Amino acid sequence: MNPLNQLAHIIYPPRCILCNDFLWRAPFDAGDVSSSVCQSCLRGFNAIEAPFCTICGKPFNSDAIENHPCEDCLRTPPYFQAAYAPYRYEGPILEAVLKLKYGGKTFVADAMGPYLADFARMRFMPEKPHIIMPVPLHPKRLRERGFNQSLLLAKAVTAKLNGKLDFLSLIRAKKTIPQTTLSKNERKTNVQDAFVLKNPSGVLKKNILLVDDVFTTGNTLNECAKVLMQGGAEAVFCVTLARAVL
């Protein structure tokens, strides 16, 4: 760490981004969650561990089996190659996402983004993606919220991967209802044809890493991946902070 940062840490000792408690440890590697989250909050993070679906990342209950595609993914293969999240959407990570999304605590994205980049690289990205893209918000919702949490995460991921960010090619043309308020079938039709690719030549033959905050049913990511694949992308990988395990 450079001396200026060292000084800043003495004057303003780093605190946990979730509970605001001091982080009683020596800093810091970007990408190391424990440099932003205290040990007590970290213990509440529930990691998704093997065995899981190799496509949608859903964890299996039995640990006696190997990773393999789940029944849903075999029956209706998604457009994305893989969609993984490091954590189950519960406990402190759920609070972190809510803080980011509805509390405007945008530093959560800065803190978790580098970790997400490392996770994607180690867990499933075969090589550095050509482009990193956030799941877009509808312009009206963007005006209401003031920021797109997925874009903030994607920016932090891009910085860590030293990659190329594209947040303009894929747009959300249809204003959808928040997925969490809908039934399984409603969720599917809600996001259907919600996304449009503005610049197909930009995604042609590209490996794309799509970034979102939470994987709920996968419908939103799948719709984005559909548009990108139909636009000529080589492959779409998705990474989210957390995954709902239903």
Q: Interface with Zn ion by CB under 5 A: which residues?
A: 16, 18-19, 21, 38, 41, 53, 55-56, 58, 70, 73
Contact (CB, 8 A) for 158 and 210: no
DSSP tag of 1: -
Q: Which residues of 36-50 are buried (b: 16+ CB within 10 A; e: fewer)?
A: bbbeebeebbbebee
> Considering beta carbons, is residue 44 or 163 the nearer one to Zn ion?
44
- Dist. CA 83–CA 66, nearest whole Å: 18
> Considering beta carbons, is residue 69 or 200 the nearer one to Zn ion?
69
**28 prior amide bond cis, ω within 30:** yes
- Dist. CA 207–CA 117, nearest whole Å: 15
> Considering beta carbons, is residue 115 or 167 the nearer one to Zn ion?
115
Least distance from Zn ion to the Cβ atom of residue 56, Å: 3
Least distance from Zn ion to the Cβ atom of residue 167, Å: 27
Least distance from Zn ion to the Cβ atom of residue 70, Å: 3
Least distance from Zn ion to the Cβ atom of residue 165, Å: 28
> Considering beta carbons, is residue 18 or 85 the nearer one to Zn ion?
18
